[in-house]
């Protein structure tokens, strides 16, 4: 017998229209949700940027699933959605219309972890040109590798490989200045730290102790409280969380694979799944904004592994790897999910790729020169600018992004500390 929450359809008849429709906006994407219709075998979603969506006028998403994101949408825009149910008898009438506004994100600040000056450089971002203006650097631990910012832009975290801890900072919302809090212990030689999309949990990949530290985040102060660490592969060097906050991924440099974890939504605890094979020496892992695809930059095989993500389990299925430059060390995906970028440490450039929105496959564009030994690349929240931290030339390359092709045009590089290892940006919603 059908539950009371489901619409009922008699066998052989056209289904009833879905009810309980809602739409949640994200960064460049909207997730529609609806109540299941008994007897329906599939669903279609129709959307457009003006009210009054119909089957004839909307953009159609065939075989849509409740709770699955529709990506490649434009921030700063309101989208309108209707849903239909389908079975052998035909397609239902449309549901009630719902709307979702995708907030426009603008860049505000950039941060660079400087490995040999043991500090973090602070910059403000020109929202028109992407140019960086230097602020006051702040002390970190010993040998800071990677800097991360929480989704609210209130807190920053730095993985310190030499002092085996994670620095904690609050961010001045006007100036971007960092104020240090109490650092928290990690495993041995943490290379990477990341914050989940909810801002409740943080994770650090510990290169020498072969595990991942788990932390809960105090929502008022940003302070970290350690949970139970979980085993990774050999020499875990990069950790990231998918946009849904359900899965975490760790690139294991020594075991040439990517660990897969499910995240307990209450505690942040990690449960290991089956690792996916990568190339040789995977150094960085990134997930696209839709949560459908993942990428690993393989330092020693000079390529990028491509994966599709099982939306239920988080499992990785490998696609066709694509060539990068020499010693690719960092991979990132822009907020639209259309472009990917890789910092190549030994060829001193940034590879540019377009992303197939159906398969996640990468198509190489024209690489652009960086400084000496670029070790990190990131894209700002608006998707208009990209930045590369250049370990050898002690500066940060600045680029504007062509919104159609993803091509990078170099601006004026800015000085950093000694041996900048990573760069990250933060923004605000308009």
Distance, in Å, from the CA atom of 194 to the CA atom of 50, rounded to the nearest integer, reads 37
pLDDT band at 7 (very low <50, low <70, confident <90, very high): low
CATH class of 22-102: mainly beta
**Has residue 9 got a pLDDT over 70?**
no
Q: pLDDT at position 336, please? A: 87
Other residues' Cβ atoms within 10 Å of the Cβ of residue 419? 19
Beta strand extents in 253-394 (DSSP E only)? 257-263, 270-272, 276-277, 282-287, 293-298, 303-309, 316-318, 322-323, 328-333, 339-344, 349-355, 362-364, 368-369, 374-379, 385-390
Residue 169 has pLDDT above 80, yes or no: yes
Q: What is the residue-averaged pLDDT of the chain?
A: 95
Determine which helix (DSSP H) or strand (DSSP E) holds 61, and give its type and residue range: strand 59-61
In DSSP terms, which residues pair with 216 in a beta bridge?
201, 225
User: If pLDDT is split at 50, 70 and 90, which confidence band does 426 have?
Assistant: very high
- The answer, yes or no, to whether residue 81 has pLDDT greater than 80, is yes
For residue 1, what pLDDT band results from cuts at 50, 70 and 90?
Answer: very low
Q: Whose CA is closest to 305, among 336, 337, 276, 267?
A: 276
Matching CATH topology for 22-102 and 105-429?
no
CA nearest neighbour of 258 among 249, 269, 247: 249
41: closest CA among 69, 61, 12? 12
Mean pLDDT of 300-315: 97
**Summary count for the chain: helices (H), strands (E):** 0, 42
The answer to which of 61-70, 276-285, 361-370 has the lowest mean pLDDT is 61-70
Alpha-carbon distance 113 to 120, whole Å? 5
Lowest mean pLDDT, pick from 12-26, 80-94, 111-125: 12-26
Residues of the chain with pLDDT > 70, as a percent, come to 97
Predicted confidence (pLDDT) per residue in 184-228, tens digit? 999 999 999 999 999 999 999 999 999 999 999 999 999 999 999
253's tokens = 């440099």
Q: Which token pair is 175?
A: 């100036």
Give the predicted TM-score (pTM) of the model. 0.84
pLDDT of residue 12: 59
Q: Where are the chain's structural domains?
A: 22-102, 105-429
Q: What share of the chain is helix, strand, coil (3-state, %, to 5)?
A: 0, 50, 50
Least confident span in 125-134, 258-267, 335-344, 421-430: 421-430
pLDDT: is 400 or 101 the higher one? 400
The CA dihedral of 293, 194, 111, 166, to the nearest 10 degrees, is: -160
Q: Which residues contact 257 (CB under 8 A, 6 or more apart)?
A: 233, 275, 276, 277, 278, 282
Q: Topology of domain 105-429, per CATH?
A: Methylamine Dehydrogenase; Chain H (2.130.10)
For residues 285 and 5, give the distance between their C-alpha atoms in angstroms, rounded to a whole number: 40
The whole-number average pLDDT for the span 245-249 is 97
The answer, yes or no, to whether residue 176 has pLDDT greater than 70, is yes
The pair of three-digit structure tokens given for residue 298, joined into one six-digit string: 């393989």
| Other beta carbons within 10 Å of 405 | 13
6 pLDDT exceeds 60? no
* C-alpha separations of 182 from 137, 145, 191, 201, 377 in Å: 18, 18, 19, 17, 28
With contact defined as beta carbons under 8 Å apart, do 69 and 291 qualify?
Answer: yes
Q: What is the mean pLDDT of residues 286-298?
A: 95
């Amino acid at each position: 017998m059908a539950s009371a929450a489901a619409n009922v359809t008699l066998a052989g008849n056209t289904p009833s229209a879905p009810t309980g429709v809602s739409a949640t906006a994200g960064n460049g994407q909207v997730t529609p949700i609806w109540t299941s219709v008994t007897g329906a075998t599939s669903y279609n979603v129709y959307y457009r940027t003006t009210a009054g969506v119909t089957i004839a006028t909307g953009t159609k998403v065939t075989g849509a699933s409740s709770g699955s994101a529709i990506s490649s949408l434009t921030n700063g825009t309101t989208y309108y959605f209707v849903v239909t149910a389908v079975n052998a008898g035909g397609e239902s009438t449309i549901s009630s219309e719902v709307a979702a506004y995708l907030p426009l994100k603008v860049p505000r600040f950039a941060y660079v972890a400087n490995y040999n000056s043991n500090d973090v450089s602070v910059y403000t971002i020109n929202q028109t040109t992407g140019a960086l203006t230097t602020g006051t650097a702040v002390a970190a631990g010993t040998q800071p590798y990677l800097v991360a910012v929480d989704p609210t832009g209130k807190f920053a975290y730095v993985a310190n490989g030499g002092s085996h801890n994670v620095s904690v900072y609050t961010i001045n919302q006007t100036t971007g200045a960092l104020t240090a809090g109490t650092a928290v212990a990690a495993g041995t030689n943490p290379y990477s730290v990341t914050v989940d999309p909810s801002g409740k949990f943080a994770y650090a990949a510990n290169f020498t102790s072969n595990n991942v530290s788990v932390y809960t985040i105090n929502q008022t102060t940003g302070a970290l409280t350690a949970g139970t660490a979980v085993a990774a592969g050999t020499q875990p060097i990069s950790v990231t969380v998918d946009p849904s906050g359900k899965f975490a991924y760790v690139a294991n440099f020594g075991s040439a694979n990517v660990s897969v974890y499910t995240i307990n939504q209450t505690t942040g605890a990690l449960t290991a799944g089956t690792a996916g094979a990568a190339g040789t020496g995977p150094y960085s892992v990134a997930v696209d904004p839709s949560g459908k695809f993942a990428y690993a930059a393989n330092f020693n095989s000079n390529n990028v592994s491509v994966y599709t993500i099982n939306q239920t389990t988080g499992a990785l299925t490998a696609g066709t790897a694509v060539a990068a430059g020499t010693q690719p060390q960092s991979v990132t995906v822009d907020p639209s999910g259309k472009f990917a970028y890789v910092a190549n440490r030994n060829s001193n450039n940034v590879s540019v790729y377009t992303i197939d929105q159906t398969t996640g496959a990468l198509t190489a564009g024209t690489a652009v020169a960086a400084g000496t030994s670029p070790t990190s690349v990131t894209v700002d929240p608006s998707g208009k600018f990209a930045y590369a931290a250049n370990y050898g030339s002690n500066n940060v390359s600045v680029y504007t992004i062509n919104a159609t092709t993803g091509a990078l045009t170099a601006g004026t590089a800015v000085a950093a500390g000694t041996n900048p290892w990573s760069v990250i940006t933060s923004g605000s919603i308009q």
